Chain A
């Protein structure tokens, strides 16, 4: 079987085509290219799941490969709901994130005794999907041309918050079993707490009269920036990981 990095290239090429077609204002063909990218990406994830010779969800739910996939899925869903403008905005986010992670080793982190529990895929699945929903909320809020878009953005942010909370709870249970505490004093846990507080504060904004829709949109953008800074830092921290099949 070819290396996983090689298998990712066709999907990356399709994502690049999405960006190119959107730059040329060819929205429909761009969304078609996104569908192709999504299918190729799904194939890549399936190969990744089997890369170690036995099915592994942990290999699929890794931020660098699963976040662009989630964003592409959301963009296609918006396209299916006839919200083409919004779908194009999220497609850009999907394509940019898919291309940014191109230099990162696509190999699978081998399982360890601490990762052999069902809470691990549940945690990563919920956390990464929540990140995708937060990014989608920011994209929709920042490109809106009317109230309906912010309503949609708000819905994405709210469900992102619920999923992120599920991730934090499953993470707390995993942390308790593996490290003896439900919350660790570490870079990762503290940053997750910061992101959780950021969206908890967002949920409360609806009750503050001074916060116009424009300001709330800016807030969602700032929340996504906090998240992006964390994701970039995490890539550097995990850069030295031993990987198989990259």
Chain B
């Protein structure tokens, strides 16, 4: 019984159908995101569990696809873990018979899956142990943050292009001088668009509300994101492993073709 359940959990056929289900939920979600402009965009400014409790459950008609997607991703995570362990169990006893390079190549897909799980774990960590707060960014404005902390906007600076003539006067950069106070902390620093600042365990992002800067409206996002240190490096490792794997496969194939010739 347990063996059968494990075999099902580790099956590539299950991977395929779970990915199909994930595609379905992603596409449905993309349509919902396009059509609904009030509740769903809040997902970007609240932690996922908080959003699900505050908005997802009370508006199940809007969020059902998200529950489906999260459940599918959970199953995909279990499937990827079972697949990886299963493959490692088959590969490891063969490593003595395989030339060094061949074993290293064969183990790469399993490593990719394991790092992918780590990345999913990073997202989970950020959702469970992170925090996010937003404040408007107008000069002189002070925002009270959770836990008796405060954030004051001392000044806002807009840089514009001087040249070429087609761009003269258009926004080039935006930055804000901030003062952050918490117990034992009183710091002044400058955060800019695309250049967040890290202070006392939080990251301070300056966000231009209009992506194309047609308005000068700004918002501050204060995040604690413990998973990001796993997510971004993990994704970079996946790319390197994948590129190396397919390049090595191609080389092996070319060698085989040369021998056949």
Interface residues of A (CB under 8 A from B): 51-54, 109-114, 116-117, 155, 158-159, 161-162, 165-166, 168-169, 172-173, 176-188, 190-191, 193-194, 197-198, 200-201, 204-205, 207-208, 226, 237, 241-242, 244-245
Contact = CB atoms under 8 A, between A and B. Distances in A.
Interface string B234-261: 0110110011001000100000000000
Contacts of B22: 193-194, 197
B221 interface: yes
Given A177-B195, A191-B27, A208-B12, A165 B34 contact: no
Given A52-B167, A194-B27, A176 B232 contact: yes
B139 interface: no
Contact of B238 (A165, A179, A205): A165
Interface stretch (B94-102, B141-149, B178-186, B208-216): B208-216
A155 B253 CA distance: 12
20 contacts: A51-B166, A53-B164, A110-B167, A111-B170, A111-B172, A112-B211, A113-B171, A113-B174, A162-B242, A172-B235, A176-B232, A177-B194, A179-B207, A180-B132, A180-B203, A180-B223, A185-B43, A185-B44, A197-B26, A208-B16
A182 B231 contact: yes
Contacts of B211: 112, 114
A165 B26 contact: no
A59 to B, nearest CB: 11
A185 B232 CA distance: 17
Return the 8 tightest CB-CB contacts between A and B, nearest first. Answer: A53-B164, A194-B26, A190-B30, A201-B19, A112-B213, A185-B43, A180-B205, A113-B193
Majority-rule SS of B interface residues: helix
A165 B239 CA distance: 7
Contact of A165 (B212, B225, B242): B242
A128 B27 CA distance: 20
Contacts of B33: 185-187, 190
A184 B44 contact: yes
A83 to B, nearest CB: 16
Q: Contact size class for B?
A: 35 or more
A60 to B, nearest CB: 16
Given A162-B246, A193-B22, A198-B19, 19 more contacts: A52-B164, A52-B167, A110-B167, A113-B173, A113-B194, A113-B213, A116-B172, A165-B242, A169-B238, A169-B239, A177-B196, A177-B205, A178-B207, A179-B207, A180-B223, A181-B44, A182-B232, A193-B26, A204-B19
Interface string B140-167: 0000000000000000000000011111
Contacts of A242: 212, 214
Contact of A116 (B34, B132, B173): B173
B20 interface: yes
Contacts of B49: none
Contacts of B228: 176, 182
Contact of B208 (A51, A114, A161): A114
Contact of A112 (B12, B29, B30, B212): B212
Given A52-B167, A201-B16, A208-B13, A185 B40 contact: yes
B122 to A, nearest CB: 9
Contacts of B195: 177
Contacts of B26: 190-191, 193-194, 197
A103 B43 CA distance: 36
A197 B205 CA distance: 30
A199 B213 CA distance: 34
Contact of B207 (A110, A180, A188, A198): A180
